Structures are given as structure tokens and as C-alpha cells.
Structure 1
């Protein structure tokens, strides 16, 4: 086996060297024959092939050919193309291009600009040849460059094979990488698969879906104006300016060049319009895009290159990062058109993948077999001068007041010692003590809340995972100051969760025992901790409370064929009323809190089936939610229960994109529907509520014109909705920079009703002399908000329709 392996190795080396020796690298320069100025991004192609390259900023190029002699053609708009037959690759090949002069003919000026007729023809011709273009494969080279105010701070390069399928999209396999010494290979993301093709109908520019200049409806989105006429090889080239016709849509502005006889794009020089901006912390986003096309003597107009140049700046008040200059250049060549692409390319939803075996042979591929765009002088210096210690973190370190609170990561010094950027003392002993304390407390979290019944509750919760995280234990205990030394003062419990199957975490078993003071009605939005502030400052308490000793056992399964998880749980609980305790508040308002409500005492035995899917619906409207929960709870005497009932409940959140969907953040409609009812004998402590504002805190999903005490009901229904217009209304008022502030205008409304059983109302009246909080008629409200104030807050102005009145509130800003 060793001899066989040696023979294979020798053969590989010999054949590899033979292949390399059969290739010739041609280098040279392209310049203006009259001025001697270099012509950057000039296109050099091997005659009658798809193989070529472009020149760098200094007009220099490099091209590998398989055999000599070979005929090269250099092209540049406004100049006559030049052919050179190369017989010797040892000498530089210089192209000196002369200005092109062509008979421009006459253009008939009618009621519309000539550019409109030109672009109409470009669009029609594109439809014809694009219909026959099914796939292509191309060799690609990409270089990315980052700069700060003074110099280049990093360079990354890649060599890849790019694939395109009309139906399946783009894929790319990286074959080789190279980067400056301050970057590791994993941080090198240079590639072409995510770069734009300006012949596409729609282009993804930094998350904005932008209409292309050759989109079938481009004439409805853009103003095209004929600015000048140039020529190339005796053919007219139309220079056309591009402007935005729709001021609130993300579009391009700039210049495009159209070859007259073919009515094809030769080059675009475009940048996104003023709509393509980002809210804080992005302070500036200014990128321009250039791209050339060629048919390489065939019928399809394919990208030659992509060049991106610009600046990105990020910062907030007190923390500002230096501007980051960005430059990217990529070229594609050696196209193979309408070939069968391997199905394996599209089996995974990954646009970019790495050929690890090829990347490991970097030197032989990158430096010898690939047509790279030569480095310019500044880039050559950067590769030589940037070492591994010149990290991007150092080069882009922010300035401002808040930097003093940043604990900079540790960095290794030149002598191998560790240097910490953190201020403050602490030797080895202090670090050891801190480590011991961290181990003791890392699984423990404090718990606390305040209400009118328990007064101050304080406790601890301990969580731990075992057996490869397949077993989890949770233990809690706490003490309530409002009960003196009675047993009601103590709460405790333990919960065990087990994922019994080793190869999957789709199935779990859960068991829990706890003794605690429970909230009489369930809120889908607020917890006792979140509602602690209102009674603490003398305002009405949100919940009523009762004593609950509970045991539960159940299982959960994450379904495969339909979304979400399903849970089945059995609960056995003992319910007892507890007394009202305190009127204490921090600021001594001496307001008398309402009495704590009674409960129907007894034992509850119930089975609960729940189906839920989505993300966290308790985000208070900070993000759009796609979430639902449907549950059925059944209690009966044969389950050892004092009550016979079946309870139904649904809670649904939906986010729908509406207007300006091409923007990074489209307008959205957010909705919450929550409803429930029952059959049988439902105890009062099994009522639900429609959530309301916590004082001036008015989050989405809660009624903003009802404060402190929620609407209670055995049956209930509510629909809350709001439409986020983002900054569009402010832009319509003439504030064109509104998107950069992040401000959003939101219109909202809500409607709901609860039903309380007559016997509960009568008993409540007899005990306390007033009725529980429920709606007499439909609660209806509407209003308007200004969100993202200081990128944190939202101000609400709400109007109560059924009982007229205005209410002000604040809540968490809606970020997405």
C-alpha cells in the first residue's frame, strides 16, 4: 500500500507540474494613447472565447492562457478596441487605446426623451435572449478591501466557481482564499454569489428589494434621460442618466451605457437613491455600484465584473465607530452557458460553500492557475505591512463617552503574556475568588415581586442540566413578608424535565410540584414581577391572588409534518382563598387598595391539551410576531375535580407586510386575536382577562385606554391591530432624512368584550359592595403613535370611542 501511495503521489506531482507548465501568464497595461493615463476596469478578452479579465486601478492586467500564440482584445467605452497577437508571455503586453469616432446619426426628438425609446427596446431585447438563457457556470475572482481614515486595514480575496440557474438561483463554490495576516480564513467572505447582476429584474441591495433598470416595468419607476453619445469600435453608445420616478421606493440613480445597434447594457454606474438608508445605529450608508457586460461574441449579455465602492458609518450618542471605507471588485469569465448543473449544488439552501480540499492547496491554485486582478500599489503595501496584531478590532475601535464602560477583550502581547484592556485591579487571588463565586452562583437566579397581598416576595431559583442536557431540574423557594410567620409566607417547588430519546429532542416529559400564591386570572402579557411597580407606588394592583398547591405531569412533542409543538398535561391542584394584606407604597400615597377577591375553594383535576407555534409573544410589540396558541382544558369529577367544565382558548399573533415591500423595513400590519369560552361550571379563578395598560405603560396587545385593572371574564374576545407606516408619512411631509432617524408613525386600534357569569357578579357585590372589572359593552379605541424615539421609546395617543376620552402612554419602540 505504501508503494502504491508513493506512485500516486509522484504521478500527481508530475501531471500537476505538466499542467502548470502548459499555462502562460500574460501581464500588461492598458492606457489612453493620447494622454498615457491608465484605463481602470478595461475589459481584456481572448478572441472568440468567454475567457477574459479586467484591469486594476493602475490599468494593469494579468491573464493566463493555455497556449501561444493567442489574440487578445482590449475594450473600453469611448475608445477603439485593440487586438494584439501574443506569441511570447515573457514580455509585458501594453495596449494604447485611441478615442473612438463614429457617425452618430440623427435622433428625432418627439414628445418624450429619446432615452425612453432606447430603454423600451433594451427591455424588449432582454426578454428575447433571457428566455433562452437557462444556466451558466463561470470562473470568478473577488477582492474585498476595508479602509479607515488613513489606510487599508484588511484585504480578502477568493477564487471560486459561480453557478446560476434560472429557476434555482445562484450558488458558488470557493476554491481558494487569500487574506492579509490580520484575518483568519473563516473571516474571509469574499465571493460573487451575493453580488448584483444589473440585468436582473430585481436586485437585493443591503436588504432592499430594488427594481432593476431593465425590469419590465422600469419605465414606470425610472426617469431616463439621454445625456450624451459616445462610441466603441464605430458603434454608437448612448449615455443615459437614471433618476427615481417614485420618491418613496428604493431605486437606483446614476448613469447607464447602452450599445446602440444591439440595444444592450454595456455598463452601469449606479447608486441607491435616498430611500435606501438605515435607522440608527447606522449613521451613513453610501455605496456605489459599477458593472460591465459582454456577449463575448454570442447572444447572451453576461456580467464581466462588479465594482462596489463606498463608506459605512455606525454609531450612537456617546459611542461612535470610525467610518469604514469599503471597496470590492469581482470578475467573471470563462463562461459555460446552458449546461446541465449538478443537482447536488442545490440540495442545501446555502448560496456559498467551500471546497476544503482545494482551499488547502492554496498556493498552487491561487498564485499559478488563476486570473487574478493585479493588486495596486496601496494593496501591495498593505499585504507587506499588515501583520497579525493589526486586528480589525484595533483599527475600528470606537470613541465617545461610553467607551469607558467597555471591557475590551484580552489580547496577547508580543512576548506571549496576556494584556487586559479592562480597568480596575484584581490579581490572581481576586480572580480565583471570583471564579469560585461564579461557580456557586451561575445556576442561581434571584426572584422578587411586590403586590398588595404578599407585600415583598423574595426568593431564589436554581436550574441545572444533566445527562448531556437531556435532564433539567428547576428548584425554587421564597418568602413573602406580608404574612408574618404563617405558612402562606413560604413558596417552594421543584420541576423535572426529561428528553428520554437520545437521538432526538422532539419529545419531552415534564413533572412539577409547587406550593405558592398564584394569580387568580391568567395574563398572557404580564407577570407578577412586571406588575410590581404599580402597587409599589400606590396604584391599583393588577392581579388578585389565591393559595395553590399543585402537582402536574405531562409530555410535549415537537411535530414533524405540521408546525409547532403539542403538549398534554394532567394537573391536580388545591385552591384556597387568601386575605388582603397591605396598603404600603414607597411614596406614602395612603391609597386604599381593593380587597383581594375570593376563589371557589376545592380540588381541581384537569387535562390540558395545548398546541402552540411561533416566537415570543410577550415582546410588548418590540418586534412583529408570528405566534399562536390553542388550548383545551377539561375538568371532571372522574379526574378528582370539584368542578366539571371544558375551557377553550386561542391566542393568535400575525404580522403582514403591506406597502413599500421593497424597503428594508416594509410597512407592516400587526394583529393580535385572543378569545376564549367554556361549557360547564367554571370556577372564578379560571376566568381569563383582556390585558390593559400598566399606568402609562401601553404595550401592543393591551388596551391603551383602560388602566391598571384588566377586564375579567369567563368568556372573552379581543382584536388589537396596528399599522406601522415607518417613516413614510414624515417623508411625505418633506422630511427626506426621516428614515435615518429611525422614527416610525403607527396607527392602532382595538375592540374587545368580556362576559362574567351573573352568580359571580352577585357574589362579588355581596362580599365587596362593587362589581368585578368587565366590559358593559364593546371596548373600542383607536390612536396614533410615534415610535423609535431615541431608538428606545414609543409615545401613544389613544382615543376611547365607547367612553370618549384621550389617553397618553409610552411603551417599548417597535424595532421590526
Structure 2
């Protein structure tokens, strides 16, 4: 009986899930090592540290050996037993390596390295048909004052070499100012794989740094070397050769012994074009790869940070800072993929049954701890902290810009003082100003009133300086259904209008061209029209 009890206890200990947490720091300076990798040897499981060097690691079997790695530092192995403390702080020693002075008389060594990386990839990449991994993702939005919104997601990531990427959302949590019905998840940035031949970002296809023809699109230059487990890691500067094909610039790191790409720090090249009124759009991506001691090199994480500045003469918006952080764990390689995932074009499928399960974040096998700022944001942000207030524009035209956030504005409306009739009327008025080569100056007003969530009506009118004719019109629209996504619109208009719509230039952008000496983008005609449209969002 005693032997049976000991056997039961030993089996329970071996398969009991344990959680350890702690910090990974520089042994010399004590500084945190962000994005340090912790891998449970013999598995596809592990964790990475956050910006403060903190990690949380779930261990399903004891004892387990944890391999802690960071480029430029000596790796460390730690054996976790059942009697091991739950708080494990780890210090890694720097492992400097001096780069010998190299006089380059012909081809840059980086080109030879990348040619080897691309050739090696073709050998193993052809055998990688698909994979599935547990995924954790975190999206943050900030203005000049601090964090405005946080959203975290748990799910599964699916990758198929032919069919592409899909994600299944199983759990989420957000700050209180996010509508629970909204799916705040950006698959375009959350599941990017820079080892792909073509890297798709925001519906644009970029040539990846390991594309078979990458040497035709990129200029690679060796800039340094570091140490990892006694092997040389070469740091390579990446510059673009192409002004037409979307490409990246930045740095990548190559593990020489395996001819493998193990880290990237890239951003779109300067030739990427952003439409007005975007004045600045800076976005950068960092990603690490591991073969987990096996054949295939797979993503460990993806870290994206961006900054957008939007403005026009007389209208300026606060800077919009955003970040997306994802980690991947527990890979399954070359398994049968669910056909239902690829029967629809949506990149994200919501598992509504799994979404109802409580406390999934407490037991998640993949997770990146929140920083102190993010912890505070969860505690301090409340419903009513609207995005309209967080990104309220300034300038003489700002009073005519409506920043709608129905979920949070409804709370503010309940607590607001009643507005006077004149204030309500003036808030519904907006100017109709413009210029084009046919009408000359366009001066008018528009009155639009929303009676309730279903009904809205408007009337507009004004005068043109070149034609010396008035323009006028009216319209109404009705919305219905769940979340009022179905609509029908009826409108009447008498005046000059463009012959066609354009996704490249908004009408007001086309109107600015003649004022600056350029040819007008649009053609116009005199219209007396009645329009009836119906559809859904």
C-alpha cells in the first residue's frame, strides 16, 4: 500500500502544472533584459520576458530543464523540481566578442551569409506544410498623456504554406472603456512571420528578407557580431534596392552555424506612401525565431510599435501611439488543419463557446506579464473615458469634427448638463467650404440632426462664386437590426458633383490641387439627382 501511495504521488508530481515567475537581468549591471527567451527543453513550450524583464512560465511536467537565452549573453540552464521556489530570478553574463577588422574588397560577407540562409531555408521550408500554436496577443493605444486602451487575447494561430494564416480567438479582456461586443484584435500585426517569402502587413505584400529573390531587392551589409551559446551571431544591416516593390529596412541577426535567421528589427522602407492627412507614420517590427532544438525555425514572438500623426491646416490631432505584442507557444507541426477555417476570408474566427469560459488567462500556457504602466491602466481607465476625448483635435476647424464613441459617450451624456436649444442647433451645423475649377469658391452650410439611433436627416445649401449659382440638397437615412448595421438612405441634390468616386483621393484633396498649381484630379458635371441606397456595414 505504501509503495502504491508513493507511486501515485510521484505521477501526480510529474504531471502537475506549475507556474514560476521572476526577472531576467544582466548579471553585471542588473538591467532588465526584455524579450529574453525561456524554453522548456525537449518541447515547443516556453516564454519571453516583458519590457521590464519579467516572465511567467507554465510548466506541465516536473522535473523540467529551462534554457534561458539572450543574444550577446551566456545561456543558462535551470532545472525546476517540485520543491523549487515559484519566484526564480535569473542573471545572465554578457559574452562579448570582438569583431576582427575586415577589409572588404569584393562581395560583402553579409551577402554570402544571406545566400546561405536562403538556400538552407529552401531545404527545410519545403517540408513545412503547416503549423498550429497557442497565441497570446496584447494591443495598446496611447496619446501624449498615457495609455488610452488595452486589449488582450488568447487563441490559436494556424499557418498553412498555401492557404495562409488564420487565428481563432478563445478569450479576451480589455480596459473598461472598450465595448465588450467589440473584437479589438489586429491579425495583420499579431501573426506576422518574417521568415515567409512574402510578408503581408496592412493588406500590402512586402518582399521578406529570406525571399528566394531577396538579393535582388535588398542590399545586405555586415555591421557586427555577437555570441550565443558559443556560436557567432552576425548582425546585418538591411537596405532596400527597390523604390517600387514594398520592402523593409533595419537589421537582422543570423546564426552562422545553422545559417538561420534568428531575429529581425525592421520597418517599411522610406518609399512607402501614406495618404493625406497622415503627416507621419512610423512603425517598426521586432521578431525572434527558434528551432526548439529541431529542424524548423518558427516565430517565438512579434513586437510592433507605431506612431501616427494626423493634421491639416487648421486641424491637428494628438499623436496616436500603438503597440501590438504577440507570443507563440506549444507548436504542432504538419498536422491536419480544420477545413472550416479556410472556407471564409476572415482572418479571425471567434470561438463563442470558449469565449464564455472564465479565468482562461490564469491557466494560459503562453502569456507575457503586464508592465507596471499597463497594470495601472487596467485599474484607472473606466467606462466614459472615451476615445473622442483622448484624441480630441485642436485648431480653428476642430469644432466641426465629431469624434463619436457611442459606448463611452452614452455615459458622459447621462451626466452632462442639458444643452440649450441654440447650443443643440449650432452643434448640428457645419460649413460646406471648398474650391474646384468649375464652381470656383464653394460657400455653404449643412444642418444634420440625429433624432435617435435609427433616424437621421440633413439639409444643405450654398453658393458658388464662379457659376454664381446656388446648390442645395436634403437627405434622410434609417438604420435597423442588431447594432443598427442595416440601412437605407434617400437623398436629393441639385448642384455640381464629381463624375466618379476615388479611393486614392478624397474630394477635398482633389479640390486643393488647383489651388497649388496642379491639375484637378476630378471631372465634374451639373446634377439634379435623387439617390436611394440600401445595404449593411
TM-score (normalizing by structure 1)? 0.52
Paired with 2:475 and 2:251, the residues of 1 have a C-alpha distance of 64
1:273 corresponds, among 269, 277, 282, to 269
For 2:335, the equivalent position in structure 1 comes to 339
Flag the 1:198–1:459 CA change in 2: closer, same or farther, 3 A. Answer: closer
* Equivalent position SS for 1:341: coil
State the Cα deviation string for residues 34-83 of structure 1 (Å, max 9, x = none).
11111000011100111111100111100111122211111110112111
1:375 corresponds, among 370, 373, 378, to 370
For 1:623, the equivalent position in structure 2 comes to 502
Flag the 1:621–1:405 CA change in 2: closer, same or farther, 3 A. Answer: closer
CA shift, 1:100, in A, is 2.7
Task: Show the 5 A alignment for 1:124-139.
Answer: 124-139=119-134
Paired with 2:218 and 2:20, the residues of 1 have a C-alpha distance of 42
State the Cα deviation string for residues 72-96 of structure 1 (Å, max 9, x = none).
1111101121110011454311221
Paired with 1:458 and 1:25, the residues of 2 have a C-alpha distance of 68
Paired with 2:96 and 2:473, the residues of 1 have a C-alpha distance of 86
* Equivalent position SS for 2:33: coil
* Equivalent position SS for 1:284: strand
Paired with 2:27 and 2:379, the residues of 1 have a C-alpha distance of 33
Task: Show the 5 A alignment for 1:58-457.
Answer: 58-87=52-81, 88=83, 90-100=85-95, 109-190=104-185, 192=187, 194=189, 195-363=191-359, 365-406=360-401, 411-412=409-410, 416-419=414-417, 424-425=422-423
Q: Which has the larger radius of gyration?
A: 1
* Equivalent position SS for 1:37: coil
Contact 1:156 1:188 in 2 (8 A): no
Contact 2:286 2:303 in 1 (8 A): yes
Number of positions where the alignment pairs a residue of Structure 1 with one of Structure 2: 470
Flag the 1:102–1:459 CA change in 2: closer, same or farther, 3 A. Answer: closer
Instruction: Return 294-303 or 315-324, whichever deviates more.
Output: 315-324
Gaps of at least 5 residues in structure 2 are 1-11, 426-447, 463-468, 480-487, 525-537
Flag the 1:319–1:187 CA change in 2: closer, same or farther, 3 A. Answer: farther
Q: Which structure would you say has the larger RCO, counting Cα contacts within 8 Å and 6 or more residues apart?
A: 2
Contact 1:257 1:267 in 2 (8 A): yes
Paired with 1:43 and 1:457, the residues of 2 have a C-alpha distance of 65
CA shift, 1:355, in A, is 1.0
Paired with 1:399 and 1:247, the residues of 2 have a C-alpha distance of 35
TM-score (normalizing by structure 2)? 0.77
Flag the 1:422–1:158 CA change in 2: closer, same or farther, 3 A. Answer: farther
CA shift, 1:32, in A, is 1.0
Paired with 1:426 and 1:270, the residues of 2 have a C-alpha distance of 49
2:27 corresponds, among 25, 33, 38, to 33
State the Cα deviation string for residues 185-219 of structure 1 (Å, max 9, x = none).
33342355653211111222334322111111111
What RMSD in Å do the two structures reach over aligned CA positions? 4.2
Contact 2:471 2:495 in 1 (8 A): no
Paired with 2:472 and 2:200, the residues of 1 have a C-alpha distance of 52
Flag the 1:189–1:435 CA change in 2: closer, same or farther, 3 A. Answer: closer
Paired with 2:473 and 2:187, the residues of 1 have a C-alpha distance of 55
For 1:56, the equivalent position in structure 2 comes to 50
For 2:511, the equivalent position in structure 1 comes to 792
Paired with 1:419 and 1:74, the residues of 2 have a C-alpha distance of 58
* Equivalent position SS for 2:39: strand
CA shift, 1:146, in A, is 1.2
For 1:599, the equivalent position in structure 2 comes to none
Gaps of at least 5 residues in structure 1 are 1-17, 428-433, 449-454, 466-471, 477-526, 532-617, 625-664, 666-741, 743-786, 797-807
Paired with 2:320 and 2:475, the residues of 1 have a C-alpha distance of 45
